[in-house]
Amino acid sequence: MYSKLALAALLLATAEARFGQEQSVANIISSLSNFGNPGVAPTLAGSTPGVLLAGANACDKLTLADRIVSELGNDKAVIDAAKKLVAAEKNFNPFAVSIPSICSDPALPATQELRGIVPLVDPAVTGADVENANSATSLTTPFANDGLSVADIVKANGFSNFTAQSSSGSTTAPAAGNNNNNNNNNGNNGNNGNTGAVTSTVTSAAPAATSEAADAGNGNDNNGDNNDNNGNNNDDNSNNGNDNANTGNDNNSNGVQKSTLAGADFGLCVPTMSFVGGRGNRKATEFTFLPKDPLVAKGQQEALNPNIITNRICDQLTNVCQANQAAKTACLDAKAQIQALGTKDASTAQKWNELLGFAGTDVSQ
């Protein structure tokens, strides 16, 4: 058991190390504040991490790169920043899939200066050395791209170990490597139910949204099962391209940590809360509450009063998370309990997380 935990912790550490790049691209975009209307560059920068998360569509970052140029202009600094986004690595949940997804929409990116650039991929993926060298080259010397999607260009230049994803979200597994797997088509429909069972320890939202040790304890055993199912889905895609398989895939691959509450699906979000000292310009001894998941926290100031944050989290379940009714009901119930409790310390955040099925989440970061 210990070694399993240690392994999960190691995998998380690796996954977390890779999350930093989302923020580094966001920083590059936010440095463009001299361009466009006031406030536009920070808004675009704020949208950047979201399109690089495991749950995002692979085409979203290309659409955002186009927007950066259309809203901030085509000064070289803007183009260079948008290129970095096109070339950026998009996360994937290593517990759910073993290969990245790349956009297969030939219309994207629309901006000519951004075309012919291919993305970085996780160095752990077989073939990544070729792709990552290509990505670096493409920033200065774009590849031939006429009528081609980024996925086409990537493939034409020697890397095919990825899932092609259209703007609408449907996916096609790579042709290579799956040809022997026709038998896996049977039973594919059974995979559609995975949402409830997935207990991935990696949240696509951010490293801060995950509690390493405790999550590892919760989710470990199920991870293996999910990996197997995902394998089947991919194989089925390559053979049939059928829609049922794709639906199943979407549910499995969003990579968001699931609640242990039966029936509660928090959708794209992990609704946990932290209690941290020294946030913003506060003294190190002044502790505040904040949602851990950046998607939930977006636009929210840290608060001394936990009820502000619980209220926000419950609102966000409808606004951005696509949570189900059971999750929303659990949230309102937990909100009332926290209010009744009246405490304002780490135990308050811990209690909240526990009430929503994320017991053991590290509230200190």
Interaction site with ligand NAG (CB under 6 A): 98-99, 124-127, 161, 176-177, 192-193, 195, 247, 250-251
- CB 334, min distance to ligand NAG, A: 23
Q: What kind and span of H or E run contains 248? A: helix 243-253
Least CB distance from residue 128 to ligand NAG, whole Å?
8
- Rank residues 100 and 291 by Cβ distance to ligand NAG and give the closer one: 100
Minimum gap (Å) between residue 309 Cβ and ligand NAG? 26
Range list of β-strands (E), the chain? 101-103, 163-165, 171-172, 273-277, 287-291
Distance CA 64, CA 333 (A): 37
CB of 362 to ligand NAG, least distance (A): 28
| CA nearest to 88, candidates 138, 46, 125 | 138
Closest CA to 297 of 308, 313, 282, 311: 313
**8-state DSSP, 346:** H
Residue 72 or 128: the one with the smaller Cβ distance to ligand NAG is 128
Q: Which is nearer to ligand NAG, 130 or 303 (CB)?
A: 130
Cβ at position 322, least distance to ligand NAG in Å: 7
Choose between 250 and 354: whose C-beta lies nearer to ligand NAG. Answer: 250
Q: Which residues contact 146 (CB under 8 A, 6 or more apart)?
A: none
Q: Which residue is nearest to ligand NAG (CB)?
A: 177
Q: Which residues contact 3 (CB under 8 A, 6 or more apart)?
A: none
Residue placing its CB nearer to ligand NAG in the complex, 80 or 129? 129
